Structure 1
Amino acid sequence: MASNEKIDLDNGAQRTPVSINSDDDYSNPTGISEKALLRKLDLKLLPPLTLLYLLSFLDRSNIGNAKLDGLTTDLHITGNEYLFTLTIYFIGYVLFEVPCNIILKRTTPRFWLPTLMLAWGIVATLLGVCQNFAGFVVARFFLGVTESGLFPGVVFYLSMWYKRTETHYRISLFFSAAALAGAFGGILAYGIGFMKGVGGLAGWRWIFILEGLLTVVVSIFAYFFIHNYPSTASFITEPERAFINARLKASSDATNSEIFEWSSVTAALKDYKCWLYGLGFHTMSLPLYTLSLFLPTIIKNLGYTAAQAQLLTVPPYAVAAILTVIVAVLAEKTQKRSPFILASSSLAIVGYIILLTAPIHKPGVSYFGTILAATGIYPSCAIVLSWAAANVSGQAKRATATAMTITIGNLGAVLGTQLYRPNTAPRFLLGHAFALGYLCANLVVVGLLWTLLERENNAKRERTASGDTGGDQNIVSDEDVRWLFQT
């Protein structure tokens, strides 16, 4: 698509017209290998961010492993009180996501992300020394508060480094850490369970203490290995910095010098698409978090021992992590999102149908259903979570939109934490049925969003055909005719 937008590669470099939706329509007089530069960025940015999210997901979901190891018995927590400890986490999470992303925009990633990690690591450790239900509830609330800024912050952060067509693959790699956390959580819980009595502490306490302390230690190092934006990051050379800026100018607004204004926040709140991105994740977050929080309990109620259940949580998450990466590769190659969400969610639907209909005396069949559910949920979540970051233009608006996506989404998690009630064991028909219903709703929301985005793209193409080129200024809004939405 033709465009009059122009870019500067370096002092005195040639000014070349580019298309905002093109992968290759920008000049590269520097001679830098784009593939080599991408590998360098991936190696510098993705491993530390993935480690942060792995520990974040581990610290929020290890409560399911701790429950099997005696948490509720020792603290005299009833079944419904246990569900409340799950709910209160997401209340704190939802309330502080948007404020945390605004703080990120007004500070720096190198300061804000490790600080959040240090805070949630301390809270996660304190969970292991709580002596009663009230203390545990307070700690879970503040765990949600301190973890709330990580995922939306990282989604926005990556959008400042990569082109729109490249963010989904990176966010999917990052999100695959959630599945890995589930796998590692089961293995760690099984091993830590043998520490029962060490220091006079129960095994479940050691789960929280050791995994929380690990987070605290990593957070200290994170101040040194988390980098800021391309304009100031020290690990890239000046020619590389110029080329990164050229790539981003040809794809997004990441290189614009944008002053934070509250009107940008309002713009996100008024954009119906931002609400639909959030609804897309809302319909996935209930299945995601009910599975991650209750999978050990679901498996145990199939007739396995607590130790066996801890280990049997590993395969569903391991397969889910692998499929998340495979789907990310395919989605990036085809530059499509909606078809892969629809396919993955449909796979999860099959898994829940199996869980709802499998005979109680055939635990292997139900266990296979948990594998299908996990392998369908995680790839869909990864795509949905990266959608707003790729499609919303205006840095503050995008930061708000990504936080909105997760805030609206996690309202589904709030509901989900109340569904797997003890009196519905061992079949958990209520929880499975809600998850199935939400996944079916996801198909409707994604299909609607796909249709509406295509309609807006077609309208912009018609305007371009009639001679509207969008002008010579940098793109500052996704309403610009040069900005085509990824579908």
Structure 2
Amino acid sequence: MSGGILEASCRINEKALLRKLDFRLLPPVTLLYLLCFLDRSNVGNARLEGLVDDINMTGDQYLTGLTLWVVGYVLFEVPCNIVLKKTSPRFWLPTIAIAWATVATLAGVIQNYPGYLLSRFFLGVAESGLFPGVVFYLSMWYKRSEQHYRVALFFSAASLAGAFGGVLAWGIGHMRGVGGYNGWRWIFILEGLLTFAAAALSYLWVYNYPSTAEFLTAEEREFIHLRLEYDSDAVRDESFAWANVLKALKDPKVWLYGLGLHTISLPLFSLTLFLPTIINKLGYSAASAQLLTVPPYAIAFIFTISIAVLSERTNRRAPFIMLPAGLACIGYIILLSQSRPGVSYVGTIFAAAGLFPATAIVVSWPANNVSGQTKRAVANAMQISIGNLGGAIGSQLYRTETSPRFFLGHGVALGYLLANIAVVGLLWMVLKRENVRKERERESRGLSPLEEAGTLDSGFLGDEDPRWIFQL
């Protein structure tokens, strides 16, 4: 520990400060992501409440709308993170939340198929900036070893959204006929208005960066600056440059991070979009299926937090992606091999319990390992864009004609999970080899790792610098 940090730590309780940061930073962005995931996945609940019949869609036309959401999301993720870098979190994150809340609410009054397609596409556009934006945002506050646990807490809102979504859809479904609207319309309208209210308040809840956050004292700002200065590039004054965007595009590791998310996103997206339908086709009524979506998501929430804690304590990423992916494989094997409703339902629990914790750690990995600020912002957005292309494929797999066993969807999901284990294993090897190479270079040049080197000098080369150690 450097002299500067040692002196500051005598005045600041680091654990208490971290709790303060968690309390101030995580609740607003986690709530926004919970509502974001709720607004994108409630279309599966709406389907059971009459959406397809009222809009006069076929099953395949319904799937086209799901794919258009992914298209809008993927196209605008990188531009949204560039806008975030040019503006500020307090302005950008609530503003995009207002935008998607508006689209989500208006989806409740669509009257035809083109309206359905437009609502899905623009919902994807509006939601595209939240997840990569928050991952980058947290990397500007926490040390590298602390980030993935916070990202996992943030991402756990997705599983909570699934659990709440089932209960809300079951309750709101009983409003069919109120105001002359069917139940699916009220699902979109009420959940969209809830998001709008939270988004409006988040202009007050979301802070920018440590140097300007109003809830910190001058000493706390100095301490945060010092602890990040000896850990990452978060406190460097880096202006936006297109050359740093190109660095992300040219780095093979960034593409591997994206492929790692791509291979987990397909089963994750398909499960969250089609879980009510999958359970319904096992033989359960629509109302029962809405409620039966709750246990898989609740168990996934517990697993996401627990595995994130284990990953943090062991300071390892790759094993805690591969093991949950293997657990999800078991779930899909059960779904493929069993026709009994109760046993197949257990398969959905295994699948959710593996998919959510694996995804939480995958998405935090580049935030830990990519350095320069602009490069990291672009890398985060690239990873999620590439990952969500898996969602575009997954949205087309659970076709009406493959009901009720859905062999196509379950089979492709299983294949993608096996590919995920292979990709993550390859990335693990690449990062380990890079660390060995950097260690040799440090020894030959008499350098110390970043944690021991002190303040970054003007010659710091980002994650290409030999002092930068990749987290495995």
Q: Which position in structure 2 is the counterpart of 1:172? A: 152
Match of 2:234 in 1: 254
1:163–1:251 CA contact under 8 A, matched in 2: yes
Moved over 6 A (4+): none
> Counterpart in 2 of 1:402?
380
Q: Tell me if structure 2 keeps the 8 A contact 1:55–1:215.
A: yes
* Secondary structure of 1:484's aligned partner: coil
Output the amino acid matched with 1:485: F
Residue matched to 1:81:
61
**CA-CA distance at 1:29 after TM superposition:** 5.1
Map 1:293-308 onto structure 2 (within 5 A): 293-308=273-288
Unaligned runs of 5+ in 2: none
Letter in 1 for 2:469: L
Correspondent of 1:389 among 343, 352, 367? 367
Deviation at 1:77, TM superposition (A): 0.7
CA distance in 2, matches of 1:409, 1:151: 12
Structure 1 vs Structure 2 CA RMSD: 1.3
Query: Residue 32 of structure 1 contacts residue 240 of structure 1 at CA under 8 Å; is this kept in 2?
Result: yes
What aligned pairs does 1:301-316 form with structure 2 within 5 A after superposition? 301-316=281-296
Which whole-Å CA distance do the structure 2 matches of 1:378 and 1:217 have between them? 27
Note the C-alpha offset of 1:31.
1.4
1:183 and 1:318 in contact (8 A); partners too: yes
d(CA) in 2 for partners of 1:134, 1:84: 11
Write out per-residue CA displacement over residues 418-445 of structure 1, whole angstroms, 9 at most, x where no aligned residue. 0000000000000000100000000110
Matched letter for residue 274 of structure 2? F
The count of aligned residue pairs is 465
Aligned match of 2:36 in 39, 51, 56?
A: 56
Q: 1:461 aligns with which of 430, 439, 453?
A: 439
Question: Structure 1: how far apart are the matches of 2:374 and 2:441?
Answer: 27
Q: Are residue 446 (structure 1) and residue 424 (structure 2) matched?
A: yes
Confirm or deny: 8 A CA contact 1:122 1:212 kept in the other structure.
Answer: yes
Cα separation, 2, equivalents of 1:26 and 1:340? 33
Letter in 2 for 1:368: V
CA distance, structure 1, for counterparts of residue 307 and residue 373 of structure 2: 27
| Alignment equivalent of 2:46, drawn from 66, 70, 83 | 66
2:463 is aligned with 1:478:
yes
Report the identity percentage.
62
Q: Return the offset for 1:28.
A: 2.6
Give me the whole-angstrom Cα distance separating, in 1, the residues matched to 2:400 and 2:188: 23
Corresponding residue for 1:278?
Answer: 258
Correspondence 1:41 to 2:21: yes
Q: CA deviation at 1:468?
A: 3.8
More helix by share: 2
- CA distance in structure 2 between the partners assigned to 1:27 and 1:309 by the alignment: 58
Residue 134 of structure 2 aligns to a residue in which SS? Answer: helix
How much does 1:462 deviate?
1.1
TM-score by length of 1: 0.94
Q: What do the CA deviations read for 1:319-354 (whole angstroms, capped 9, x no partner)?
A: 000100000101001000001111000000000000
| Contact 1:281-1:405 within 8 A present in 2 as well | yes
Instruction: Report if aligned partners of 1:176, 1:325 keep a CA contact under 8 Å in 2.
Output: yes
Residue 219 of structure 1 pairs with residue 199 of structure 2: yes
The match for 2:391 is 413
SS in 2 for 1:337: coil
TM-score between the two structures when normalised by the length of structure 2: 0.97
**Which letter maps to 1:477?**
G
> C-alpha offsets along residues 391-443 of structure 1, whole Å, 9 cap, x if unaligned?
00000000000000000000000011000000000000000001000000001
Which residue matches 1:209?
189
Structure 1 residue 375 corresponds to structure 2 residue 345: no
Contact 1:125/1:209 (8 A) holds in 2? yes
The unaligned stretches of length 5 or more in structure 1 are: 7-13, 17-24
What are the equivalent positions in structure 2 for 1:129-278 lying under 5 Å apart?
Answer: 129-278=109-258
